[in-house]
Amino acid sequence: MKKLMLFILKAILFIYVAIGVLLYVFQRELLYFPAPKMEYDFKRMSLRDGNETLNTIVLNEGKENAIVYFGGNGESVVYNAESFSKTFPNFTLYLVDYRGYGWSSGEPTEANLFNDALLVYDEVKAKHKEVNVMGRSLGSGVASYLSSKRAVHKLVLITPFDSIKNVAQKMYAIYPMGLMLKDKYNSVEYLKSKKTKSILLLMAEKDTLVPNEHSLALAKSLPQDEVEVKVIQNVGHNSISNVQSYYKILGKFMNVEQ
């Protein structure tokens, strides 16, 4: 009986360690889902960083103020082109392909995405009076970091998290994700040094990928007079942009007449 119990314990320990090793080794494959290259007729802005090329889609060129958009972990940002162009007619829009996504080369990591966000911002700021930033899901972490390093006029965080570490810890409760994760995207920490006092936090009522508790934790960490929280009912993490109210809320926050 003791031998059987010892065998079972060893088997459980082996499985625990094996799954932990797989999570550690393949964690970036679980976090990043690079979007494929897609042909389109929109203007592109290409920036170089060492041997890598960073691609950004440019819409409504020549406006005084700008919006920079960072998408989700598996999002082809070009799909937002027509709807965003109509929603924000008085802004020049910049939709960023992360490294390894679309027409951008390289490998997506937290450090690389943060570096590229600063690179894009500095290029955009040289052309515009004000720069607004929107980030969706994974992009909310990039946008939060950027707002801690540069002057952002208005900040929009769509289906955001307090940190990837907290989301992962909830998902894989038996593992020490704080020790295992390479890319933690600690938005709460970044926003302590934010350069904006106008933030929209937009949530999906039925978000199961980033449960609402993580978005609310982020909201509670911010000065309440500087953040506006909106919840779109009966939509999920990926379907939030399928309803018209999504664009109305974004447009109103950016002072676009509806």
In this structure, is residue 147 part of a structural domain? yes
Place of tokens 């390894």: 100
Q: Judge whether residue 27 has pLDDT over 90.
A: yes
Place of tokens 């494959």: 29
Gyration radius from the chain CA atoms: 20
More confident residue, 252 or 1: 252
- The mean pLDDT value of the chain amounts to 95
In this structure, is residue 17 part of a structural domain? no
In this structure, is residue 93 part of a structural domain? yes
Give the pLDDT band (50/70/90) at residue 258: very low
**What whole-number distance in Å separates Cα of residue 233 and Cα of residue 231?**
6
**What whole-number distance in Å separates Cα of residue 124 and Cα of residue 59?**
12
Give the pLDDT band (50/70/90) at residue 5: confident
Global pTM reads: 0.94
In this structure, is residue 80 part of a structural domain? yes
Angle (CA) 102 243 186, round 5°: 55
In this structure, is residue 13 part of a structural domain? no
- Which 3 state secondary structure label does DSSP give 76? coil
In this structure, is residue 10 part of a structural domain? no
Q: Report how far apart, in Å, the C-alpha atoms of 189 and of each of 19, 26, 91, 116, 192 are.
A: 29, 26, 29, 20, 5
In this structure, is residue 219 part of a structural domain? yes
Domain enclosing residue 65, as ranges: 32-253
In this structure, is residue 4 part of a structural domain? no
Structure tokens at 65: 């103020």
Looking up residue 88, the CATH number of its domain turns out to be 3.40.50.1820
Give the pLDDT band (50/70/90) at residue 257: low
Sign of the dihedral through C-alpha 64, 80, 122, 163:
positive
At 168 the pLDDT is 95
| Residue 169 burial (CB count, 10 A) | 17
**What whole-number distance in Å separates Cα of residue 53 and Cα of residue 94?**
16
More confident residue, 5 or 62: 62
Number of domain units in the chain: 1
